[in-house]
Amino acid sequence: MKHSRQRRPRRGFTLIELLVGIVIFAIIGALFTKLLQTQGRFFDKQGMGNAARNVSRSSLNRVVSDFRMIEATGGVAAATPTSLTVRIPYAIGVMCANDNGWSHLSLLPVDSMTYAGSGFYGYAWRYAKTGAYVYVENSDQILQNGTVSVCTSQGVTSVTNGRVIGVQPKLPDSAGLGTPVFLYSKVRYEFKPSTAVPGKLGLYRTAIALNGTESSEELVAPFASTASWKFFVLNGGSIAQTNPPANLATIRGLELHLDGLSEAMAATKSTAESAPFTTAVFFKNRTN
């Protein structure tokens, strides 16, 4: 008769080994949790920083595209460090002739949506003796379709996809055939309390109509309290000054401080992330 071999009992963990293992796992877990918290805060801070930079970038294209169009001697109508009213050209052409109280202008081609949506506020014509533009704006101005035959009779052939318009009051007869003319809209850019992000600043663009009505839109928010523009002036060197000059015709460029903020605050932070952003725009076609 065979006897079965006696099995040795399997040895398990002792209480001390179990406690040591629990302590080790607790230490590793605590370190891993700390790592996750640190990484989470880092990515949160990065995300808020990107949000602040996006505020600056979002406003840049619209503002710069308008400001680059400003004519040097009369493009700025009113200015403070946080508010700027400018005349923005949207169509350019030449004078054909004065006829029956109207000045007929032959305009170069311009995008139809831009032309229709810009909002006519006035026109400016170039005074040949000084090279400066003379601005004509008053509530009695009229813009209408012109007569092509008036231009062709003076030897001015409209460019393909261009247009002929008539304006009142007419240019002086001394202006002469071929005088450069442009149409412009009037717009105010300003930093003021935001409606989208209460308690912060927003950048607003307000289109001003001839009858005085205004159409305002908030382009982007929020901005830091340092958001503003400074002014490069004639013979003022390369340093922009904080306040506009008494004679706005001497402004030769703008230094834009589009300092964006994040809407939310990163974890463990008591303030929103900021993104200081500075660029400059200089006016073209100046005579001095």
| Other CB atoms within 10 A of residue 91 CB | 23
What is the pLDDT at residue 47? 65
Write out the H or E segment, with its range, that includes residue 185: strand 180-193
Task: Answer for the pair 84, 229: CB distance below 8 angstroms, yes or no.
Answer: yes
Task: Answer for the pair 264, 48: CB distance below 8 angstroms, yes or no.
Answer: yes
- Give the domain ranges of the chain: 49-82+187-282, 85-185
| Other CB atoms within 10 A of residue 245 CB | 16
- Work out the percent of the chain whose per-residue pLDDT is above 70: 88
What is the pLDDT at residue 3? 55
pTM higher than the cut 0.85: no
What is the pLDDT at residue 80? 95
Q: Which residues of the chain have pLDDT under 70?
A: 1-13, 38, 40-49, 266-270, 285-288
Peptide bond into 222 cis (omega under 30): yes
Residues in the chain: 288
